Amino acid sequence: MGYLIALLCASLLACKDLLSKRVSAHVSSTTSAFASFLFALPFYLLLLALLALLGREDFTLSSTFLLLVLCRSLTDTFAEWFKMSSFAHGELSVMVSLQSLSPLFLLLTSPMITGDKISTRGMLGVGLIVVATVLFVANPRGSAKKTELKGVIFALAAAFFFSLNTCFDRLAVQHASAAWSAFAMTLLAALFLAPLFWRARGGLGELRSQVRLFTARGAIEVVFMVSKLWALQYLQAQYVAALQRVSVLVAVINGQVFFDEDRFVVRMCAALLMLLGIVLILFG
């Protein structure tokens, strides 16, 4: 069950990334990151109301849970801002591939935070992922499109913070339901970003201009987050993070179809190499 749910997360993540890339040309990174939380909240409220009516939600508020939600929300705020910023400075497939290095950072963060460990075979898998990422980022001479250094830095920073919030996700769902955990984290992350959003010029206008895409992304965000936390009730953090990397294949195809990104064959081969590394991590 955990593996199936994690693969569902991968497909939803690919849809989210496609919408995020679409809006990145029209709104600031701060607005996009804030909207990713804000537009998800109404859908969370509907879901929680339904679960409450069915008697399936107890709305846990223990001190441990609240501390984990705080840590997760802080790391998610940074992760989403860096992610949206990377989309404004690089191609979809390249940025997604770099963000997909979160399993690499989980090798360091997961043992320290959750106690989850990885085998030697898993280490080899990480090596393959790193090689695949180099193929994604490298630009041959004469390439029409260049990958900006700023985009690379933002994407790597996003991967690091995503590894942290996955660890806190893993711990939080041991104390509360997936839906309640996801709502609490999203609400707090929105509150953290709100002051930065209000200080930015033209933020409200940007929200209104892309309300349909933001609403669609908000709905996808709810299903994605609940599915991710649900999967973490069955699997360790690095397993869920690794399975989500299947979204890289979809991102490469989307980048070619919707944004006419170049080096499609090389990037598809690199994505397959990355998936091979993920398989080694999973079965390590």
The sign one gets for the Cα dihedral 58, 62, 67, 68 is negative
Q: Check residue 245 and give its pLDDT.
A: 67
Q: Mutual orientation of helices 63-87 and 2-24 as an angle, nearest 10°?
A: 50
Taking residues 24-47, what's their average pLDDT? Answer: 92
Round the average pLDDT of the chain to a whole number and report it.
Answer: 83
Give the whole-number percent of the chain exceeding pLDDT 90.
Answer: 30
Mean pLDDT is highest, among 60-74, 127-141, 232-246, for: 60-74
Is the Cβ–Cβ distance between 73 and 185 less than 8 Å?
A: yes
CA 230, chain centre distance (Å):
15
pLDDT at 170: 87
Stated pTM of the model = 0.77
Mean pLDDT of 166-174: 88
Percentage of residues in the chain having pLDDT higher than 70: 87
30, two tokens: 């701060």
Residue 144 has pLDDT above 50, yes or no: no
**Range of weakest confidence among 15-24, 41-50, 123-132, 147-156:** 123-132
Residue 158 CA to residue 165 CA, distance in Å, equals 10
Structure-token pair, residue 84: 């949206």
Q: 283 — phi, psi (to 5°)?
A: -95, 5
> In terms of pLDDT, which residue wins out, 126 or 227?
227
